Structure 1
Amino acid sequence: MHKIKRDDLVKVIAGKDKDKQGKVLLVDTKNNKVVVEGINMITKHVKPGPGNPQGGIVQKEAALDISNVMLVVDGKVTRVGFEVKDGKKVRVAKTTGKVID
């Protein structure tokens, strides 16, 4: 079980996009990377193909390290802990003690 999941709201705490917030689109647990909506945008030159017949220059999100983002709960940045409630392991916000999911 991981501390950050898809569709979580996170805040970037390091790098060129520091202090920006966005929704997690993808979590790569093997490489400890996350892709966040509208964060860490790169310019990619795309050849024409079936998906993009025109080709050209495309802006897209690049992965950033999971250690550079923090979970946002109720508008506050928080660390994440785990507790067992009713026989289930759940994520808990460290600042408020609130169960996240």
Structure 2
Amino acid sequence: MKVKKGDTVVVIAGKDKGARGKVIMAYPAENRVLVEGVNRIKKHTRITQTQRGAQSGGIVTQEAPIHVSNVMVVDSDGKPTRVGYRTNDEGKRVRISRRNGKDI
């Protein structure tokens, strides 16, 4: 998967099309990413007692994972790009922007 945790991405399809956010978590097995402020859902949680006697629960708004095909990585110029790989001088694979050839 070419999108990693910490990348800034832009949503290219779906209800949040055009939104930008930072990848909070990546799920490579499911090909999904959790993006900050994108694909917000309301989750109904049961009211429970905590150890201190306070109650927690109710309707909680949180982000849900989005499929990796619906996002594009934003390069150093601030524009969405496809991601490629190149081997650097030390023999390590580095991610590059397909749009301008610079490192991501």
Which ranges in structure 1 are unaligned for 5 or more consecutive residues? Answer: none
- List structure 1 segments (4+ residues) > 4 angstroms apart after TM superposition: none
| TM superposition score normalised by structure 1 | 0.92
Matches of 2:55 and 2:73 in 1, distance apart? 38
* Alpha-carbon distance, 1:48 to partner: 2.5
* Alpha-carbon distance, 1:47 to partner: 1.3
Instruction: Map 1:1-101; keep pairs closer than 5 Å.
Output: 2-49=1-48, 50=50, 53-73=55-75, 74-86=77-89, 87-100=91-104
Which ranges in structure 2 are unaligned for 5 or more consecutive residues? Answer: none
* Alpha-carbon distance, 1:40 to partner: 0.3
- Per-residue CA deviation, residues 46-68 of structure 1 (Å, 9 max, x unaligned), is 11234983211000001110000
Moved more, 44-53 or 8-17: 44-53
Question: Between Structure 1 and Structure 2, whose CA radius of gyration is higher?
Answer: 2
Note the aligned Cα RMSD (angstroms): 1.5
Aligned pairs, number: 99
Matches of 2:45 and 2:38 in 1, distance apart? 20
Identity among equivalent pairs (%): 49
Matches of 1:79 and 1:69 in 2, distance apart? 10
- Per-residue CA deviation, residues 14-39 of structure 1 (Å, 9 max, x unaligned), is 00000000000010000100110000
Matches of 1:67 and 1:80 in 2, distance apart? 12
Moved more, 41-50 or 23-32: 41-50
